[in-house]
Amino acid sequence: METILWGTFGGFVAMAATTLGAIPAVIGRSLSQRASDTMLGFAAGVMLSAAYFSLILPGIEVSTERTGSEVVAALIAGAGIALGAGFVAWLNATIPHEHFRSGPEGRDAAQIARIWLFVIAITIHNFPEGLSIGVAFGEGRAGGLSVMTGISIQDIPEGLAVAVAVVGLGYPRRTAFLTALGSGAAEPVGAFVGASLVSVSHSLLPWGLTFAAGAMLYIISHEIVPETHRNGHQHRATAGLIVGLIVMMILDVTLG
């Protein structure tokens, strides 16, 4: 129960960070495309570092302790990563949604209002982040706090980018704020699910850690990196990614 409570709390902190990031857009602040791509690159770096240092490596360590074999542990980690990535790929293929610049995906996307397609897309993006927070708390409070902090930091510019994009599409600022708030709500849900699963059986911990990592890696490669390179700002986006990776690595070492 303690793991579930801490994991869900971590998801709500990330949700609050997403909402906080949307505030500048609500009060009329604009965000250039260059700044948006740099921030999204930073978010990708945080997620990449969290996936490796906070999820994959601990998952391998736990598996090695349980099985006594580094080879078996590596195979379990590989299977977990593949399952996580495959799960998000399945969501992308089956649930109708629309990204801000790359357009609609999924089945029957044309039959749903655009704003809801955006909300669904962001939810698909944020759920694995919450999942990673909840699963990380299953490893221990220190590791959970590290992942929670890193994800929350990158959620601030992400919330701003979401709100600005919605405003740019002609929707009212109130709708932009509520869209960011709604997208962040997926994180405590994912955190609760992740923490609950690893609480049911500790043997699921390495699978949960690497599954969450695989889901995040898919999002980084399939969505964030292509978006940040679409407008000619790839150098700044790459610099943002490196900075984000370093920040999350330092957080993981100092907090975890």
Most confidently predicted of 44-58, 64-78, 100-114: 64-78
CA angle 39, 45, 47 (to 5 degrees): 105
Work out the pLDDT band at 111, boundaries 50, 70, 90.
Answer: very low
CA angle 191, 120, 210 (to 5 degrees): 40
- pLDDT-above-90 percentage for the chain: 16
Cβ-Cβ contacts under 8 Å for 124 (sequence gap 6 or more): 88, 91, 92, 95, 97
pLDDT at 92 exceeding the cut of 50: yes
Structural domain that includes position 189 = 2-22+32-255
Would you say residue 12 lies in a domain? yes
The label of the residue with tokens 């601030």 reads: 156
The amino acid at 198? V
Instruction: Output phi, psi for 41, to 5 deg.
Output: -60, -40
Would you say residue 102 lies in a domain? yes
* Higher local confidence (pLDDT), 134 or 95: 134
Work out the pLDDT band at 109, boundaries 50, 70, 90.
Answer: very low
For the residues 210-235, what does the mean pLDDT come to?
Answer: 84
Would you say residue 87 lies in a domain? yes
Cβ-Cβ contacts under 8 Å for 116 (sequence gap 6 or more): none
pLDDT at 68 exceeding the cut of 80: yes
pTM score, two decimals? 0.72
Most confidently predicted of 65-74, 116-125, 210-219: 65-74
Closest listed residue to residue 191, CA positions, set 2, 8, 17: 8
Give the pLDDT confidence score for residue 140 in this predicted structure: 79
Most confidently predicted of 19-23, 88-92, 186-190: 186-190
Work out the pLDDT band at 117, boundaries 50, 70, 90.
Answer: low
Would you say residue 213 lies in a domain? yes
Give the total number of structural domains in the chain.
Answer: 1
Work out the pLDDT band at 256, boundaries 50, 70, 90.
Answer: low
Most confidently predicted of 28-32, 63-67, 126-130, 175-179: 63-67
Give the pLDDT confidence score for residue 77 in this predicted structure: 94
Cβ-Cβ contacts under 8 Å for 108 (sequence gap 6 or more): 96
Would you say residue 27 lies in a domain? no
- pLDDT-above-70 percentage for the chain: 85
